[in-house]
Structure 1
Amino acid sequence: MNEDPEIRMTLLAEPSSAVLARELVRYALTTWGFARPLVLDSMLVMSEMVTNAVNAARGQEIRARITVQQDAPLLECWDPSPGLPRPRPALVDSESGRGLLIIAGHAKEYGVRPSAIDRGKVVWALMPI
């Protein structure tokens, strides 16, 4: 790819936004020619990032961004909450608490940074190719 493609979407921080974010990833990465297993893993990672953002900023705007860096998908999710997510142990029967562990298990690299242009933070994941 000569020029890194990019797609962005602003979402309402509600649980249904995870579905929209997954479909955005599927559309972008399929259009850009990535293999199906990577598309599926990326959909899962974005879903976890959006779910964490929904939990941090319910009812507010959040933003999803998908681009390519080092020929690999780079997934980002911004939310306005200043609180930084941290991995935490989840009980076997817990319905939540595994988001960052899932992201870490599928991404080549991931992290959290303060937003450069807004309040809040960006959770990002560089996927393996």
Structure 2
Amino acid sequence: MSLAGVMRPASRSISCSCIDTANLLISELATNAIRYGETEDVSFSVSYWQGEVRIEVADGTPDRPQVKRPGADEESGRGMLIVEALAEDWGTSEDGTLTWCTIAVPEPVVPRPGFWCEWRQEDGQQLSLAAMSTPDRAIRWARIQMRVIASAIDASVVGYVWDWLSDGWHEPAEALKNGEEFTLPPSAGPYKFVWHARPVRFVPLVGGNPLPHLAEEGPEWD
């Protein structure tokens, strides 16, 4: 008894691990129905709706399956214990002739485009880094960090970088919008820096909160 063909239409939304779990649950429920049911007419159905797989096995027997806890040396009796452990929820119809269980299906992990940005010294030492969702945000972050870095090194250096802060970003902005990486080597008096940005695809953390740069909405840089 296999779920592969039954769930093919939803295969793009359901991971292989969920399909394997569903196969095991169908097998355990069907085996339990055949072993303890009062009829050989056993049927099952599988449905998927809004992130949940529902499995139903009908055997026509009005008895609720019992979860047993067999000893280590016993070779059977673990079917409903497995169902209870793996299913999100399970139960029976009002007349007891149908047993059902559900599996929660995680949302698919979809990589999202963005930009990885770094400020470095000329010798390669990293000064600052960030992940940004759009070219405009990448440029705003770069400008702010340039001002912060220059101020931290020498307040008088800010005057050297002012032209870059206002007029030096048109070319990198166009490159990023075209999906190209860009390296900018501004200098500030005796100091030399490197700003590098490249397009990347970020993978959200499964089961975690969205990272700030992956959020649908976020604060604009001033």
TM-score scaled by length of structure 2: 0.43
* Structure 2 residue 69 is matched with structure 1 residue 89: yes
Partner of 1:31: 9
* Matching of residues 50-61 of structure 1 within 5 Å: 50-57=30-37, 60-61=40-41
Taking a change above 3 Å as real, the CA distance of residues 109 and 59 of structure 1, as seen in their structure-2 partners, is closer
* Structure 2 residue 104 is matched with structure 1 residue 128: yes
Partner of 2:81: 101
Partner of 1:70: 50
* Alignment partners' CA distance in 2, 1:112 and 1:51: 16
RMSD, aligned CA: 1.7
- In the alignment, is the contact (CA less than 8 A) between 1:49 and 1:123 conserved in 2? yes
Please state whether the residue corresponding to 1:126 is helix, strand or coil.
strand
* Alignment partners' CA distance in 2, 1:90 and 1:39: 27
Higher RCO (CA 8 Å, separation ≥ 6 residues)? 1
* Segments ≥4 residues shifted beyond 6 Å: none
* Alignment partners' CA distance in 1, 2:46 and 2:5: 10
Q: Deviations over 1:8-28 (max 9, x none)?
A: xxxxxxxxxxxx2xx1x2222
- In the alignment, is the contact (CA less than 8 A) between 1:56 and 1:79 conserved in 2? no
Unaligned runs of 5+ in 1: 1-19
For the pair shown, the structure with the greater C-alpha radius of gyration is 2
* Alignment partners' CA distance in 2, 1:95 and 1:26: 28
Percent of residue pairs bearing the same amino acid type: 22
Amino acid at match of 1:123: T
Please state whether the residue corresponding to 1:105 is helix, strand or coil.
helix
Please state whether the residue corresponding to 2:6 is helix, strand or coil.
helix
